[in-house]
Amino acid sequence: MSRADAPRTATRIVVLTGAGLSAESGLATFRDSGGLWEQHAIEDVATPQAFRRNPDLVQRFYNDRRRQARKAQPNEAHRALARLSLRDDVMLVTQNVDDLLDRAGARGVVHMHGALNRGVCANCGHRFQVDGDLTTDDPCPSCGQASLRPDIVWFGEMPQQMDEILHALQAASIFAAIGTSGEVYPAAGFVEIAHDHGAECVEINLDPRRSSPLFDRHLAGPATMTVPAWVDDILGSAPTEP
Ligand code: APR
């Protein structure tokens, strides 16, 4: 029986990652000093209104981030989570739009805020791979309309695969938030759902200062140090697959 049609084991571990996971790969976070939201106003580049108002500016912002993400390499934290994702009872959810977890070999990554290497047609909804730059004049590969946009979830839009995520959070016995400031909902509310359903909640962050009291444990330090150690601990202690 291939893994694809094997009965899906209930999710036991849900991991939520944020920009801090990719910081040591050279990709800027959003709210640290010098972060992306210090360089660009969210309302200028990360809302549907911004895209309607100035599509070329928004396309340039994401084209630049896509180029940077393609130049970046997965780090030890991405590789550790890729090892963890091979267990059938693990769900990796990322707020990041880079593909470093996927390139590290992680399986079934849930990109709840979309992905830089995907585009979508605002006219017909066709999704497609984007490797180079995307411009507003490019015709949709499916309907031919010049209405392409990055497949990124902007502020005010609904994150992707929320039903699957919420279902997994209610079943999880371990929830880990890695490299995220917990400033943006619905992701910032995941710890409360997991906690209320009895999960042990772990925060893994460079700077443990600002944190929800709902976390049971805090592992402070750079992700490339803390995440491999945490994953080894989980894999060492967790029951092996039947
Ligand atoms: N190792 C671990 N954590 C780190 C590291 C590191 N090397 N470097 C930074 N961090 C932590 C910071 O302490 C901070 O808590 O990563 C977090 C980054 O926070 P943000 O910049 O707010 O990024 P994130 O939480 O992913 O933002 C969530 O907000 O703007 C939206 O859509 C955007 O997905 C993004 C969402």
Separation of 29 CA from ligand 1 center, angstroms?
5
The whole domain housing 237 covers: 1-27+74-113+159-242
Q: For residue range 173-204, list pLDDT tens digits in order.
A: 999 999 999 999 999 999 999 999 999 999 99
Same domain for 83 and 192, yes or no, is yes
- Lining ligand 1 with CB less than 6 A are 18-20, 23-24, 29-32, 35, 95, 113, 179-181, 183-184, 205-207, 222-223
Nearest CA to ligand 1 atom 10: 20
Same domain for 2 and 95, yes or no, is yes
Same domain for 147 and 235, yes or no, is no
Same domain for 97 and 185, yes or no, is yes
Same domain for 92 and 196, yes or no, is yes
Same domain for 237 and 201, yes or no, is yes
Please compute the mean of the pLDDT values over residues 126-147 and round it to a whole number.
95
Same domain for 100 and 81, yes or no, is yes
- Catalytic residue selected from 113, 167, 197, 218: 113
CATH number where 7 lies: 3.40.50.1220
Nearest CA to ligand 1 atom 29: 184
> Coil, strand or helix: which one is 141?
coil
Q: Residue 88: left if φ>0, alpha if ψ -120 to 50, beta else—which one?
A: alpha
CATH number where 122 lies: 3.30.1600.10
Same domain for 104 and 185, yes or no, is yes
Domains: count for the chain: 2
Please indicate whether residue 78 is annotated as part of the active site.
no
Same domain for 214 and 180, yes or no, is yes
Pocket-testing residue among 44, 184, 224, ligand 1, by greatest number of atoms within 8 A of Cβ: 184
Same domain for 67 and 186, yes or no, is no
Same domain for 124 and 219, yes or no, is no
Task: Quote the CA–CA distance of 74 and 121 in Å, as a whole number.
Answer: 29
Q: For residue range 55-83, list pLDDT tens digits in order.
A: 999 999 999 999 999 999 999 999 999 99
Separation of 22 CA from ligand 1 center, angstroms?
9
